[in-house]
Amino acid sequence: MATILAVSAHPDDETLFCGGTLAMYAQKGHDVFILETTRGEGGEVGEPPLTTRENLAAFREQEARQAAGILGAHDIFFLPYIDPFMEIDGIARRIDAPLADFSAAIATSIQKIDPQLVITHGSNGEYGHPQHIYTHRAARMALNSGRQGIALMSWSAWHAPAEYERILNRDDPADIILDISPWHDIKVAAALCHKTQHAMFLRNSGAPSVPHMVRKTETFHIWQGPLPHDLH
């Protein structure tokens, strides 16, 4: 059995972009871990508000822990970086930390967890989110500076026909396209844990409900491999 680590910019990213794949691996007996690089304190507090801005980090951490449990993750960890709040201009921002330091923190977690596969954001940040892009760069740097032989792939890889074109990484062609229909209900249940972000999910997707916006196809680009034999 293998150990898989998903490295995510915010709580909910790993659920929405590769939750079905993580659930599949967990059901097959692999050890799944999640590393959140922030607690998502720059996100939304819910509509109507479910918590305060001051308590959002703790609230979202609990949402993420519930979702991780549903996905079958062995454990979930959080780095101490602060997710910047979107100012009145509504522009998303990345954390205020040098890339080398951010990468070193991820590398330390990789060393402790000792995965055979790391999954993270794509090079375009899906829809261009600065923290998604920064997390992708930091994860690749962490792997390049650490133990050799760890496979790396990124989610939301580009493929055609592209049903969800807006959130696919155009510079990352899909090497793997998975139909996660057997695990869709698990993925939906995990997405429903992120209650504070539901209004944002629906606003951005145009879907009528959270279950309707949760994708049944997950795609990945392999940056370095090969994948462990039992993960094919």
Task: Kindly write down the DSSP assignment for every residue of 198-219, as one continuous string.
Answer: HHHHHHHH--SSHHHHS-SEEE
Q: What is the pLDDT of residue 141?
A: 96
Quote the DSSP letter at residue 196. G
> Do you know the residue count of the chain?
232
In which element (H, E) is residue 171 found? strand 169-173
For residue 115, is pLDDT > 80? yes
Q: Which residues of 149-183 are buried (b: 16+ CB within 10 A; e: fewer)?
A: ebbbbbbbbbbeeeeeeebbbeebebbbebebeeb
Q: Is the pLDDT of residue 93 over 80?
A: no
User: What residues form DSSP beta bridges with 32?
Assistant: 4
Domain 3-231 sits in CATH 3.30.43.10: no
* Phi, psi for 217 (deg, rounded to 5): -120, 130
How far is Cα 20 from Cα 216, in angstroms, rounded to an integer?
8
pLDDT of residue 23: 98
More confident residue, 145 or 219: 219
- The amino acid that residue 140 corresponds to is R
Q: What is the DSSP string of 67-92?
A: HHHHHT-SEEEEEEEPPPPP-TT---
**190-199 per-position pLDDT tens digit:** 999 999 999 9
pLDDT band at 90 (very low <50, low <70, confident <90, very high): low
Query: pLDDT at position 147, please?
Result: 72
Share of the chain above pLDDT 70, in %: 94
- Give φ, ψ of 224 to 5 degrees: -150, 145
Query: According to the model, what pLDDT value does residue 88 have?
Result: 46
Kindly report the average pLDDT of the chain as a whole number: 92
- Per-residue pLDDT, averaged over 86-115, amounts to 85
Strand partners, 157: 169
First-to-last CA distance in the chain? 12
What pLDDT, on a 0 to 100 scale, did the predictor assign at position 148? 76
The tens digit of pLDDT for each residue in 3-52 reads 999 999 999 999 999 999 999 999 999 999 999 999 999 999 999 999 99
Q: Is the pLDDT reported for residue 225 higher than 90?
A: no
* Tens of pLDDT, residues 131-165: 999 999 999 999 988 677 899 999 999 998 766 77
- Residue 84 pLDDT grade (very low, low, confident, very high; cuts 50, 70, 90): confident
* Structural contact between residues 40 and 65, judged by C-beta atoms closer than 8 angstroms: no
Label residue 178 by pLDDT band (50, 70, 90). Answer: very high
Rounded Cα gap, residues 115 and 152, in angstroms: 10
How many C-beta neighbours within 10 Å does residue 48 have?
6
Q: Is the pLDDT of residue 189 over 60?
A: yes
- pLDDT at residue 96, as a whole number: 84
Q: What share of the chain is helix, strand, coil (3-state, %, to 5)?
A: 45, 20, 35
Give me 51's structure tokens: 């918590």
Using DSSP bridges, classify how beta strands 157-158 and 31-38 pair: parallel, antiparallel or unpaired: unpaired
User: Cα separation of 68 and 15, whole Å?
Assistant: 8
Among all chains, which residue has been given the structure tokens 């910047």? 84
Residue 214 phi, psi (nearest 5): -85, 120
Checking if the pLDDT of 87 tops 60, the result is no
At residue 185, does pLDDT exceed 60? yes
